[in-house]
């Protein structure tokens, strides 16, 4: 490692998430390796973040583990007052000479969470799944699919896809009205 580079390692646990008081994540265990490099008249902060956070499942609202693995960069330079110039460029007052990176780390973790997060099929809370099934409308009375069978989770990008792309028959009736006009 060069003289103008330094490395810091952090273990973020439930206490970190409780103290940061961010609404999205309350629990987790994350390892962060921060490499600070002096480049020209700025500092390049590289964050390597890996671990898991606990967030609510979108379907049953029970807590689930979400893997986090992300690499992020932040440029910091000195100026007269604190400003955020662009997405990853921060200017800090020269007389302060330091920056608290806790909130930036938290934001990087939140941004690494997929938009939709659900348990793997069969892992949702059974009580909640049964309640959802009572309100699930299907196109025919003899179709006895559960909410677990209705949606599939794509393991590649952790998104939900409709298993057989069912359309509520009421939408078809509305479409007929539009087609007739």
Q: Tell me the residue ranges of DSSP E strands in the chain.
A: 5-12, 27-39, 42-56, 63-79, 83-84, 89-93, 151-153, 160-162
Q: With bands split at pLDDT 50, 70 and 90, how would you rate the model's confidence at 21?
A: confident
pTM listed for this prediction: 0.69
pLDDT(55) > 90: yes
- Write down the pLDDT at residue 141: 46
Q: With bands split at pLDDT 50, 70 and 90, how would you rate the model's confidence at 35?
A: very high
Mean pLDDT for the chain overall: 82
Q: With bands split at pLDDT 50, 70 and 90, how would you rate the model's confidence at 127?
A: confident
Q: Degrees (nearest 5) of the Cα angle 155, 10, 7? A: 105
Q: With bands split at pLDDT 50, 70 and 90, how would you rate the model's confidence at 59?
A: confident
pLDDT(123) > 80: yes
- Write down the pLDDT at residue 181: 65
- Write down the pLDDT at residue 165: 55
pLDDT(170) > 90: no
The conformation of residue 148, written as its DSSP 8-state character, comes to H
Residue length of the chain: 181
Max mean pLDDT range (49-58, 123-132, 134-143, 166-175): 49-58
Q: Degrees (nearest 5) of the Cα angle 150, 155, 156? A: 130
- Write down the pLDDT at residue 73: 96
pLDDT (average), residues 127-153: 60
């Amino acid at each position: 490692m060069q003289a103008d580079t330094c490395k810091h390692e952090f273990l973020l646990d439930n206490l970190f998430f409780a103290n940061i008081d961010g609404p999205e994540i309350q629990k987790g265990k994350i390892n962060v390796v921060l490499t600070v490099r002096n480049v020209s008249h700025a500092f390049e902060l590289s964050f390597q973040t890996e671990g898991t956070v606990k967030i609510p499942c979108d379907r049953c609202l029970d807590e689930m583990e979400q893997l986090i693995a992300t690499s992020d960069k932040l440029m910091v330079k000195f100026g007269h007052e604190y400003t955020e110039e662009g997405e990853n460029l921060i200017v800090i007052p020269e007389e302060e000479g330091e920056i608290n990176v806790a909130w930036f780390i938290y934001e990087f973790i939140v941004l690494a969470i997929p938009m939709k997060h659900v348990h793997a099929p069969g892992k949702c809370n059974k009580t909640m799944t049964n309640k959802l099934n009572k309100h699930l409308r299907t196109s025919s009375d003899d179709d006895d699919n559960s909410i677990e069978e209705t949606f599939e989770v794509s393991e590649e990008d952790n998104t939900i896809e409709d298993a057989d792309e069912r359309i509520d028959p009421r939408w078809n009736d509305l479409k007929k009205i539009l087609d007739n006009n």
